[in-house]
Structures are given as C-alpha cells and as structure tokens.
Amino acid sequence: MGNDALTTERGRHTYEEITSQPEVWAQTLTEAHQKLDEVRAFLAQGMDDALFIGCGSTYYLALAAASLLQRLAGWRARGLPSSELWFYPEAVLGPARRPLLVAVSRSGTTTETLRAMEAFKAHGGSDVAVVTCYPDTPMAQVAQVVLSAPAAQEKSIAQTRSFASMYVLTQVLAGLAAGDDAYLAQLDRLPDAGRALLDNYSDLAERLGSDLGIDRAFFLGSGIYYGLACETMLKMKEMSLTYAEAFHFLEFRHGPKSMVNESTLVIGMVSDSAREHEVAVLREMRGLGARVLAIAEEGTAEELGGADFVVTLNSGLPETARGVLYLPLLQLMAYHRSMAKELDPDRPRNLDLVVHL
C-alpha cells in the first residue's frame, strides 16, 4: 500500500497521531530541555501573573495550563478564549496590569489569537510567550519565548498529540516558574507511563468507543484537570458527533445531572486532592443509571464509586505532573466511536484545520 492509499484510509491519521504520543512527548521534552535556560532567564524578570489564550482545544489548554501554573508556582493565572482578549482588552487586562501573555496555537496562524496578541500589545503588554507546534510562524516571531513541539504536528483536524504535547510544554513552563527541578525531572517519566497505558487499556477504549448503546457522555474533572476534561469532551464531540459535555465534578450535581439516563457514560478524571468528593459524585451518577468510567492513579472499582470501568494510571507521579496521562485513552475512545458510527475522525463535519477569519 503506497502513501497515497494510506492518506485516504478513513481515520488513519488520527489513529496514528493518538498512538504515537508517548514517543512524541519524549521528543517534545528533549527539545524543551534545550530551552530551559532561555525560558528560565525570561521568567527571572519576576513575573507572577499570566494570561493564557487559545481557541477551541487550545482554549481548553489555556484553562488547564493557567490552573497548573497557579497551583505549582503561585502565580495568578487565568485562561480565556482569544476572542475575549481581542474584543474586550480593557476588561480583560484592567487599567494597570500587564500579565505575561501565553498564546497557544497548534498552527501559529489562528486569526483570533493573532488579533488578541495585537490587542495585548496595543494596550501596553510586552511579555509574550507562544506555545505551538510550528516554531517558524509569524506568531512565534513576535514572542520573546517560543516553546514548540514540531514532532507533534498533525494531519488531522481534531487535535490529539498536538494538544497533549503542547500541554507538556506548559508543564515545563510551570515547573520553571516554580523553580521546581524535581517536578521537571518527573515529566521525563510520562512517555513510559503513557506507553504502558496504551498497552494495557487500548482494548477498553475500543470497547467503550464502539458501544453505540451510549448516546451521551459527561467528562468530569476538578482543579487542574478541568481543562483536560473539556478537551477530551471536545474530542468526543468533534470526532463522533456525540452529545458530550464537561463539568467540574461537583457542578454536575447542580443541574446538569438532570440529563443522566441509562444510555449515559460518565467519565471521571479522579484527582488525589478531592478524590473523596469526586468519587461520591461518580457513585451518585451510577445510582441514577449512568455507566461510569473512573480514571485515577490507583484504586478498585469499589473504591472509585462502584465504577463500571476503571483505568489506573499507576504512574507514581503526583497529580500535578501526571495530567497528560488522562488524555490518550479518551482520545482513542473518541476515535473508535467515530469509526463505529462510520464517520471519518480525520475530517470532522463542518470543521476546518485552522479557523482564519
């Protein structure tokens, strides 16, 4: 089979991009290691305030990264859609504050993010970092610091390894901001842990993804995992056109749980810090008839709310370091659901590779 045939095989790119992640994370970390001194020097200006922006997947990455930076380094950080900074720069920035702007863009060419960067500079902002898969774009050229993951570039529209690899880059950024060398060293264990997960649980991802008795999926995560829950939700939606939503764990009780029924799958990204309360939500949703998939560092089905399906990460890493491990199996589940519905995960309905306005 020649390359031309490969590129037209349904779902081929997405599958390859998801399953190649552990190697791509390793390459991304190797590349990032070469920039540690440069980024450290940049951060040594004494910043403690950051605004992460992005669109779609990278907006969710902005949420996840801001939360992680705040948690690890004590910075004040928030994630926003690029359009919010573009449309309302005064309201976002305030009269006197000029945070470090971290613009996240797979392509480096997303119009809204470029406009937001211009608005930031027009309102007196100067410090800009870019996280991207393409280090040579105009977006990267206006940044003081560029963290890039060229090995993670993709042919598919839905971001999978690009999201995960850019998230790893923001982990490096947060570790540097915190001055936490032990944390940075822990990240090197992610590729092996990711490989083990794909080895052990790909069958489960295929089984759940192929189960068309499920017709709605809810992704729950708190704290630093909320943005990751949003992103895996978006994958399910984009690739498989499935009713999918993401919530902070306890928020799900305040209204949204009304949508739970017998054909519901609830996916819980269980943390360590709030585990007891998160597991209580999973148990309650099971009581309402949902099937439950719990992903946690460790634990039995009974310890995880009576979950129907359990993925244990067994990474040995603290919750702040292991976030990216929650992604690949859920991306794979979305891929298999897309295939089972006879859609093409490489080319989701209505969507374009990059949104240019």
Question: Site residues (CB under 8 A) for a second copy?
Answer: 55-57, 59, 67, 70-71, 74-76, 78, 81-84, 87-88, 90-92, 94-97, 112, 158, 216, 222-224, 234, 237-238, 241, 243, 245, 248-251, 253-260, 273-274, 277, 280, 288, 348-351, 355, 357
Instruction: For a second copy, give the closer residue by CB, 4 or 352.
Output: 352
CB of 192 to a second copy, least distance (A): 28
CB of 71 to a second copy, least distance (A): 4
What's the CA gap between 123 and 21, in Å, rounded?
38
Tokens describing residue 20: 């190649």
CB of 195 to a second copy, least distance (A): 28
Fill in the DSSP letter of residue 99: P
Which of 112-118's residues contact partners 24+ apart within 8 Å by CB, and which partners? 112/55, 112/81, 112/82, 112/83, 112/86, 112/355, 112/357, 113/53, 113/54, 113/55, 113/58, 113/82, 113/139, 114/138, 114/139, 115/82, 115/86, 116/53, 116/82, 116/83, 116/84, 116/85, 116/86, 117/142
Instruction: For a second copy, give the closer residue by CB, 40 or 97.
Output: 97
Beta-carbon contacts of 44 under 8 Å, excluding residues fewer than 6 positions away, are none
Instruction: For a second copy, give the closer residue by CB, 158 or 190.
Output: 158
CB of 349 to a second copy, least distance (A): 5
Instruction: For a second copy, give the closer residue by CB, 5 or 91.
Output: 91
Taking each helix axis as running N to C, give the angle between helix 21-33 and helix 190-209, from 0 to 180 degrees, rounded to the nearest 10.
Answer: 150
Instruction: For a second copy, give the closer residue by CB, 49 or 303.
Output: 49
CB of 261 to a second copy, least distance (A): 9
